[in-house]
Chains A and B, each alone.
Chain A
Amino acid sequence: MKQYRPDVERQKWLYSMEKSRKVLRRWQGKPEGPDPSRPRIPDNSEPWLPGGVRSVADALWISDRIKEDVERWGPKPDPMK
């Protein structure tokens, strides 16, 4: 059976970007972590459907909702192009 193996290059790249952020924030004189005195806004995501996705129709319904948001808020095509 073919096993999933995490892409090592991708892990290296993610690690490198984290280090880059750390060094740049140090150069900018910014703290490395969030200010603990400020309220953290919790992740208020909710399940799309009670009971989860149980059919292709459910998955398509979610896809359509995302498409609606992207059409409403996403970048508009440049009329000059």
Chain B
Amino acid sequence: MGTKTGSDEVIRRLAGEFRVLTLGGLAVIATGLSRNTYDADIWVEPFASPDEWSDRLAPVLYAAGTAQPVAIGSWEKIGRGNLAGVIGRDGVIRVDGLERPLDIFRDPNHLPMEEFDEIWIRSRVMDDGTRLPDPIDLLVSKQETGRDKDRADIIFLEGKIEADYLARLPRATAGEAVRMLGRFLTPRVAEVALTHADPEVIELGRRFLRELAEEGDPYAAEILRRRGG
């Protein structure tokens, strides 16, 4: 184990040259949940094409000690000449041979590659030069994976974001409130929206609760009844 290159060393080298966002379990730990993680996940800026991404990253990946890029699923080694093809096809590669496996994304399944710049701007700087996505972007990256282990992360992130929204929404300007509700909404958040001073915010909250009630949500109809909606 002692002779393997550290995944954090590779991450630091990548972050020294490119824009790197931390994803997965490490990002959830960095957001405040105490849990374990087997591997490390990062999202390196997608550049204009798989060829450019491959040309820029290969000198780091193939010179990083014991690192060996492999294809997700087949786990076949990726030769330097095939890196562009694999990243273009899968959107992600695994780097094996490190002290901890490292998954490097160009096109994550649940975060649109085209939104990298936006997500980067919303993220916060970490000590190793990577950035941590804001909790809502992290939540989006966890949704719809269908993996049991992501459920606990989703519950943690939803609870954290909801508490933040319940504190901030009443004092948010109308524009801020509309932007907030466009990214995250729950029945409790919608109920607070109904008490906002701005009619557009109130209407958003009411519309959300009505649609939720039609979907069979157990709280929405009761909130609307209580609030006269």
Contact = CB atoms under 8 A, between A and B. Distances in A.
Interface of A: 12, 14-17, 19-24, 26-28, 32-35, 38-46, 62, 65-67, 69-70, 73-76
Main secondary structure of the interface of A (DSSP, over half): helix
A7 B43 CA distance: 38
B219 A12 contact: yes
Chain B interface bracket (under 10, 10 to 19, 20 to 34, 35 or more): 35 or more
Given A43-B149, A73-B26, A20 B186 contact: yes
Interface string B183-198: 0111100000000000
Nearest to A24: B185
A8 to B, nearest CB: 10
A38 B148 CA distance: 19
Contacts of B34: 66-67, 70, 74
A46 B101 CA distance: 12
Contacts of B149: 43, 45
B30 A74 contact: yes
B182 interface: yes
Interface in B1-58: 26, 29-32, 34-39
Nearest to B26: A73
A14 B186 CA distance: 11
Given A16-B187, A38-B109, A43 B148 contact: yes
28 contacts: A12-B219, A14-B155, A16-B186, A16-B187, A16-B217, A17-B155, A17-B186, A19-B215, A20-B212, A21-B143, A23-B212, A24-B184, A26-B211, A28-B182, A34-B109, A34-B145, A38-B90, A39-B72, A43-B147, A43-B149, A62-B36, A66-B34, A66-B35, A66-B36, A67-B34, A73-B26, A74-B29, A75-B30
A73 B127 CA distance: 10
B225 to A, nearest CB: 16
Given A21-B143, A27-B182, A46-B38, 8 more contacts: A19-B217, A43-B147, A45-B149, A70-B29, A70-B34, A73-B26, A74-B30, A75-B32
B158 interface: yes
